[in-house]
Structure 1
């Protein structure tokens, strides 16, 4: 029986060497500190790292994950320089004015005239 176990371990070693540079969804989630559901959501919205699919099996290439992480890097804004929305003064000559009048009669109960 040692021959059977030996051939099984050789096959397992061969398969692991083929996938040596790849992570499973579970491994990636653990490495990034997020849930597997988050990884699936990223895929759904095309936000996460690229992936390789073999049937129902999903793998992430280590180099692609590293490149994706690098692409997420954003420089820190300078200290004391916050962006604020600028309010512009409106030129009254550029504001459209309706030329039609609202022809509404006097309000009910106001009497209209004082007799």
Structure 2
């Protein structure tokens, strides 16, 4: 038997969702309400997320990318008027 087959199911699942966080956690991190994130999801203006049943999860890397996109969009819109 190989080593993979000997790993307990709960140990094998550890780390699977390490890069994902629930809506409430993200809301606390970025300082908005969970309802705001839900509204953004509906309007497709917030960070990308996935649904597993009723649970909504956000991938940390995708949230970082979304934040950087917001930053670049804001600075690109300044042009000469921002100087």
Higher relative contact order (CA 8 A, sep 6+): 2
Look at both structures and tell me which one has the larger radius of gyration over its CA atoms.
1
Q: Which runs of 5+ in 2 are unaligned?
A: 1-7
Tell me the SS of whatever aligns to 1:53.
strand
4+ runs deviating over 6 angstroms: none
The one of 18, 22, 25 aligned to 2:20: 22
Aligned-pair CA distance for 1:16: 4.5
Q: State the superposition RMSD in angstroms.
A: 2.4
- Higher relative helix content: 2
The number of residue pairs the alignment matches comes to: 72
Tell me the SS of whatever aligns to 1:59.
strand
For residues 75 and 67 of structure 1, what CA distance do their matches in structure 2 show? 15
Query: What TM-score, normalized by structure 2, do the two folds share?
Result: 0.73
